Amino acid sequence: QVQLQESGPGLVKPSETLSLTCSVSGGSFSNYYWSWIRQPPGKGLEWIGNIHSSGNTKYNPSLRSRVTISLDTSKIQFSLTLTSVTAADTAVYYCARVLGSWLDWGQGTLVTVSS
Amino acid sequence: IQMTQSPSSLSASVGDTVSITCRPSQGVSNDLGWYQQRPGKAPTLLIYAASKLLSRVPSRFSGSGFGTNFTLTISGLQPEDFATYYCLQLYSFSITFGQGTRLELK
């Protein structure tokens, strides 16, 4: 059974860059989409973007100018970079494995943007 | 694609039957899933491909629909079912979520 684990700083200063990594174990890396999703406190889920195991990416248009998702197949990890963060980027960030409408989720990590 | 999920909140009693609806702005075949989220936890999959129940999920949960109209029904609510529910669809490599339905104990 696949397991996903997010890691990265829990506090980021405004205007700086948020970087998170998702480590994958117990499953194949190939032929899946890998996704980042976030949830601001008390709010709903927001899709950030996907990367396919082939390296193709697609991002939420509202975040596209600030987001990069990348793969490290040797480490079986994928990463999120979000630049120029503001308080509005404070959220629990989830990574997920995607197969159609079936998502396997990490437990999530809270990132707070504050000086 | 925009996703309209309704209602945004719902009050019900143990034993009741409730339904939640998701309507994508354009047809997504049957590629829609339903997720349950408890406070402080990640969402968990209940139903995928509109109507396929995950093996560990109780049979009181059911999903139906196709195209632009999907429904999650919970028949005979149990105390552990009071949570927030989201629909999700994957279309053209993009994911869209419904706004969520908070199911509360009356």
pLDDT in tens, A44-86: 999 999 999 999 999 999 999 999 999 998 889 999 999 999 9
The verdict on a CB contact (< 8 Å) between A102 and B45 is yes
pLDDT at B91: 86
Q: Which is it for strands A77-82 and A67-72: parallel, antiparallel or unpaired? A: antiparallel
What radius of gyration, in Å, describes the C-alpha atoms of chain A?
Answer: 13
The chain A residue lying nearest B8, using CA atoms, is: A44
- Is the CB of residue B36 less than 8 Å away from at least one CB of chain A? no
pLDDT at A113: 98
d(CA B64, CA B70): 6
pLDDT tens for each residue of B4-32: 999 999 999 999 999 999 999 988 788 89
d(CA A60, CA A41): 19
Closest CB from A47, A107, A108 relative to B97: A47
The answer to whether the CB of A95 falls within 8 A of the CB of A78 is: yes
Which residue spans within B1-93 are E strands per DSSP?
A: 3-6, 9-12, 17-24, 32-37, 44-48, 52-53, 61-66, 69-75, 84-91
Q: Which is it for strands A109-113 and A67-72: parallel, antiparallel or unpaired? A: unpaired
pLDDT at A1: 86
pLDDT at A29: 80
The answer to whether the CB of B43 falls within 8 A of the CB of B65 is: no
Nearest to A39, CA basis, from B93, B86, B104: B86
d(CA B53, CA A98): 17
Tell me the helix, strand and coil percentages in chain A, rounded to 5: 5, 55, 45
Q: Which is it for strands A33-39 and A67-72: parallel, antiparallel or unpaired? A: unpaired
Q: What is the mean pLDDT of residues A89-106?
A: 95
Closest CB from B32, B94, B98 relative to A101: B32
The answer to whether the CB of B76 falls within 8 A of the CB of B60 is: yes
- Between the alpha carbon of residue A9 and those of residues A112, B44, B78, B92, B103, the distances in Å are 9, 25, 38, 32, 33
Closest CB from B92, B93, B100 relative to A44: B100
